[in-house]
């Protein structure tokens, strides 16, 4: 075995304790460490002078140490170390917290480059906890790594250098030379050192391109192998039946887009290979009705469907919707969630197992081993990106290769959808049901809160309902208290005559259900809530939403939130409250007021924030990509698509000798998602 794949403890300075810290970052071998890529770089090549360094900015300086001041013990656990340094323009105080080691490392009279946040006063600037390198270092572009408490940049840097030495002592490469040549890619032995310690940005970008190519290629190959496997499977082939009774029972007629999606789905269901289709539609576009149509079709064919939602609230809501649409037509619908009583669960499981239940709606509780179906033929997942690949796989295994339909409001360009969901077919709901008016959106500062409350009250007076959303990003104690207090305060104050409910993620599922049900039934007028209402909740009588601290949400998230109103015919409103009056924030609020199309907003969001949050692991349930950027690397996505095709045509199972390394890498990428057994 190559030394890169030995335990991480084979590196110098890495004993059990540090190994445990690395394990937290999913690093267990020197090879993993080499793929622990810098989050960004500190460029020490162009320092500014102390005089030029801006207050509150992160600045890079080149300074000589003059003097060290005696340490100051502030309290137990906090000692402040200071040193005075200078350049040609001024003096600056270096401030270090609790780090006698870092202070000792500074030598009086010597010149260093350092980067850190600038503060202090008019008379003397300060630089806080700077990262320091000798001014004569030859590596002036330094990596900044994602860390965990107890691990420092210096430790990681040292260990990465050791791992690079192992690589250079015995070059490791899995990519066939022909591919390297064809796509002008550097070898790993060059790319990996360059990604950690680039000498210039071109070198770094070259290296990143190689690593991104690797990831995308592996992903494409893995997804294709998964897909090919499902193509060779046979699924239950359904027979056309009349949809007339279903349409007649619907309280509305389907939009043209919904009709098209339904017919695409029904056509798939009549094939003997499993359907693998993504139904994409902006919030409020009416995906649930399409799902219901598919369940109806399956039930009339005498087979069962399962509909899986990411939260209990959503599962409960889908259950209520499907029940209303299907039970009058004689189709039994059941609900299974984790929080139900054991006895209820047992009854539902029995009905699914003996086939008396035709449609089962639920949360991931549906995956559990004790759930079996008599003849499951259709699996629908709502907001699938919230589930991991592993969970999706589990449900698929329940049936005998069931047809699969995925519903999502996340706007993803087709090429990306292909990568994320495998080679699937796409149905898009472009328009919203007619009669919908765009949600009028306003941004205000906290000073206008009372007026905004007045506006909300006007809606409530007309018999409408309202949401007030408070950010609770960490779901921590403090924020929890803040939300509870907020609800109490408005119940006593601005909304004293109204019935105010509270909904947050830390409540027990049963409590959440009760509150949600009360809001849906109209026995609550105002719901103070956190982002638990973000996905899919549907109460058409709610016409106004106020969002506190709106700057704390991403634009796409605001759009999802706002999508909770404007779901009926009435004019709806969204009031964004923010005291954050920076240009960037103003720009974001303007986008929200102007745009209503989820696609456009997502794009604007990407441009403002970068793709990190948008395409985080949370969004697609795929292995996290480290080097590739799903949105910016369009060209690489195309190149790797072509390469993946070419490789698999030549060697469908990756059994050729030249492809063994690639096979292992694909396995490694997917192993973390638990799908390895399925692919290879």
Which residues contact ligand ADP by CB under 6 A?
Answer: 252, 254-255, 258, 281, 283-289, 409, 433, 536, 538, 540, 567
Distance CA 459, CA 23 (A): 53
Measured from the CB of residue 596, what is the shortest distance to ligand ADP in angstroms?
Answer: 14
Answer yes or no: are the C-beta atoms of 354 and 374 closer than 8 Å: yes
536 touches Mg ion (CB under 5 A): yes
Residue whose Cβ sits closest to Mg ion: 536
193 touches Mg ion (CB under 5 A): no
286 binds, among ligand ADP, Mg ion, none (CB under 5 to 8 A by kind): ligand ADP
Choose among 393, 394, 359: nearest CA to 375: 359
Cβ proximity to ligand ADP: between 293 and 679 the closer is 293
Residue matched to tokens 């601005």: 494
Cβ proximity to Mg ion: between 193 and 536 the closer is 536
Answer yes or no: are the C-beta atoms of 429 and 257 closer than 8 Å: yes
SS3 469: strand
441 binds, among ligand ADP, Mg ion, none (CB under 5 to 8 A by kind): none
Answer yes or no: are the C-beta atoms of 204 and 141 closer than 8 Å: yes
**For 185, what's the count of Cα atoms within 13 Å in the CB-facing half-sphere?**
27
Burial class from Cβ neighbours inside 10 Å (0-12, 13-18, 19+) for residue 46 reads exposed
Q: 481-520: string of b/e by CB count within 10 Å (b at 16+)?
A: ebbeebbeebbeebbeebbbbbbbebbebeebbebbeebb
316 touches Mg ion (CB under 5 A): no
Q: 363-387: string of b/e by CB count within 10 Å (b at 16+)?
A: bbbbbeeebebeebbbbbbbbbbbb
For CA atoms 269, 273, 274, 275, the dihedral sign is: negative
Cβ proximity to ligand ADP: between 194 and 544 the closer is 544
334 touches Mg ion (CB under 5 A): no
Measured from the CB of residue 415, what is the shortest distance to Mg ion in angstroms?
Answer: 24
285 binds, among ligand ADP, Mg ion, none (CB under 5 to 8 A by kind): ligand ADP
283 binds, among Mg ion, ligand ADP, none (CB under 5 to 8 A by kind): ligand ADP
Cβ proximity to ligand ADP: between 254 and 494 the closer is 254
CA dihedral 184, 188, 192, 195 (to 10 degrees): 10
Q: Which listed range, 104-112, 221-229, 252-260, 536-544, lies at the site for Mg ion (CB under 5 A)?
A: 536-544
Cβ proximity to ligand ADP: between 258 and 673 the closer is 258
Distance CA 395, CA 418 (A): 20
Q: State which H helix or E strand residue 74 sits in.
A: strand 58-75
Cβ proximity to Mg ion: between 32 and 538 the closer is 538
**For 72, what's the count of Cα atoms within 13 Å in the CB-facing half-sphere?**
10
Residue matched to tokens 């998602």: 673
Cβ proximity to ligand ADP: between 312 and 538 the closer is 538
From residue 575, alpha-carbon distances to 142, 225, 380, 595 in Å are: 44, 47, 34, 14
Cβ proximity to ligand ADP: between 65 and 261 the closer is 261
Question: Could you tell me whether strands 425-429 and 276-281 are parallel, antiparallel, or unpaired per DSSP bridges?
Answer: parallel
286 touches Mg ion (CB under 5 A): no
433 touches Mg ion (CB under 5 A): no
State phi, psi for 658 to the nearest 5 degrees: -65, -10
Cβ proximity to ligand ADP: between 130 and 563 the closer is 563
258 binds, among Mg ion, ligand ADP, none (CB under 5 to 8 A by kind): ligand ADP
Measured from the CB of residue 603, what is the shortest distance to Mg ion in angstroms?
Answer: 22
Measured from the CB of residue 648, what is the shortest distance to ligand ADP in angstroms?
Answer: 35
Measured from the CB of residue 210, what is the shortest distance to ligand ADP in angstroms?
Answer: 40
Cβ proximity to Mg ion: between 533 and 628 the closer is 533
Q: How many residues bind Mg ion (CB under 5 A)?
A: 1
Measured distance between the N- and C-terminal CA atoms of the chain, rounded to whole angstroms:
21
567 binds, among Mg ion, ligand ADP, none (CB under 5 to 8 A by kind): ligand ADP
Measured from the CB of residue 283, what is the shortest distance to Mg ion in angstroms?
Answer: 7
Measured from the CB of residue 323, what is the shortest distance to ligand ADP in angstroms?
Answer: 13
Measured from the CB of residue 262, what is the shortest distance to ligand ADP in angstroms?
Answer: 11
Measured from the CB of residue 622, what is the shortest distance to ligand ADP in angstroms?
Answer: 23
Token readout for 360 is 């089962």
State phi, psi for 218 to the nearest 5 degrees: -60, -40
SS3 257: helix
Measured from the CB of residue 672, what is the shortest distance to ligand ADP in angstroms?
Answer: 30
Measured from the CB of residue 288, what is the shortest distance to Mg ion in angstroms?
Answer: 6
Cβ proximity to Mg ion: between 536 and 568 the closer is 536
Residues that bind Mg ion (CB under 5 A): 536
């Amino acid at each position: 075995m190559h030394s890169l794949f030995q335990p991480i403890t084979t590196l110098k300075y890495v004993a059990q304790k540090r190994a445990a810290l690395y394990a937290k970052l999913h690093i267990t071998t020197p090879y993993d460490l080499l793929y622990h890529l810098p989050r960004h770089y500190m460029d020490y090549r162009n320092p500014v002078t102390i005089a030029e360094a801006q207050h509150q900015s992160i600045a890079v300086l080149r300074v000589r140490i003059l003097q060290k001041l005696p340490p100051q013990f502030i309290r137990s656990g906090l000692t402040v170390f200071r040193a005075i340094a200078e350049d040609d323009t001024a003096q600056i105080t270096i401030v270090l917290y609790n780090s006698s080691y870092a202070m000792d490392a500074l030598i009086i009279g010597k010149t260093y480059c350092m980067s850190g946040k600038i503060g202090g006063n008019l008379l003397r600037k300060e630089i806080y906890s700077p990262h320091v390198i000798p001014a004569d270092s030859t590596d002036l572009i330094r990596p900044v790594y994602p860390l965990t408490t107890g691990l420092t940049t210096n430790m990681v840097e040292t260990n990465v250098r050791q791992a690079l030495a192992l690589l250079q002592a015995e070059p490791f490469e899995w990519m066939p030379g022909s591919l390297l040549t064809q796509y002008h890619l550097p070898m790993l032995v060059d790319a990996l050192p360059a990604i950690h310690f680039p000498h210039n940005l071109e070198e770094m970008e070259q290296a990143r391109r190689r690593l991104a190519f690797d990831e995308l290629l592996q992903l494409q190959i893995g997804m294709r192998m998964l897909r090919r496997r499902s193509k060779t499977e046979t699924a239950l082939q359904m027979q056309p039946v009349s949809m007339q009774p279903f349409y007649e029972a619907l309280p509305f007629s389907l939009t043209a887009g919904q009709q098209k999606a339904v017919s695409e789905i029904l056509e798939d269901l009549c094939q003997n290979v499993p359907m693998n289709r993504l139904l994409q539609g902006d919030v409020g576009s009416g995906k649930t009705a399409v799902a219901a149509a598919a369940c109806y079709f399956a039930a009339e064919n005498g087979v069962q469907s399962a509909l899986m939602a990411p939260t209990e609230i959503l599962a409960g809501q889908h259950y209520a919707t499907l029940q209303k649409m299907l039970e009058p037509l004689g189709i039994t619908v059941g609900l299974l969630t984790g929080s139900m009583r054991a006895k209820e669960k047992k009854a539902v499981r029995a009905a699914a197992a003996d086939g008396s239940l035709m449609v089962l709606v639920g949360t991931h509780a549906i995956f559990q081993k004790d759930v079996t179906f008599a003849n499951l033929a259709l699996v629908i997942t709502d907001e699938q990106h919230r589930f991991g690949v592993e969970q999706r796989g589990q449900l698929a295994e329940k049936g005998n290769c069931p047809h699969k339909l995925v519903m999502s409001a996340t706007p993803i360009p087709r090429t990306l959808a292909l990568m994320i969901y495998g080679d699937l077919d796409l149905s898009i709901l472009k328009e919203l049901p007619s009669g919908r008016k765009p949600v009028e959106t306003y941004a205000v500062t906290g000073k206008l809160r009372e007026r905004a409350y007045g506006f909300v009250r006007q809606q409530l007076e007309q018999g409408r309902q309202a949401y007030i959303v408070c950010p609770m990003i960490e779901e921590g104690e403090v924020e929890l208290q803040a939300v509870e207090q907020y609800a109490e305060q408005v119940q006593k104050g601005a909304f004293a005559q109204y019935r105010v409910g509270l909904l947050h993620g830390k409540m027990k599922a049963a409590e959440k259900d009760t509150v949600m049900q009360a809001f849906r039934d109209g026995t609550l007028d105002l719901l103070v809530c956190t982002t638990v209402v973000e996905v899919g909740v549907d109460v058409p009588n709610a016409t106004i939403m106020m969002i506190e601290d709106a700057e704390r949400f991403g634009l796409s998230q605001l759009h999802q939130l706002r999508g909770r109103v404007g779901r009926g015919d009435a004019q709806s409103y969204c009031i964004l409250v923010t005291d954050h009056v920076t240009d960037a924030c103003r720009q974001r609020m303007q986008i929200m007021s102007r745009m209503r199309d989820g696609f456009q907003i997502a794009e604007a969001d990407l441009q403002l924030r970068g793709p990190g949050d948008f395409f985080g692991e949370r969004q697609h349930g795929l292995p996290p990509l480290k080097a590739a950027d799903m949105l910016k690397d369009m060209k690489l996505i195309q190149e790797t698509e072509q390469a993946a095709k070419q490789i698999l045509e030549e060697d469908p199972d990756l059994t050729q000798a030249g492809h063994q390394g690639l096979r292992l890498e694909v396995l490694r990428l997917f192993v973390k998602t638990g799908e390895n057994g399925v692919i290879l």
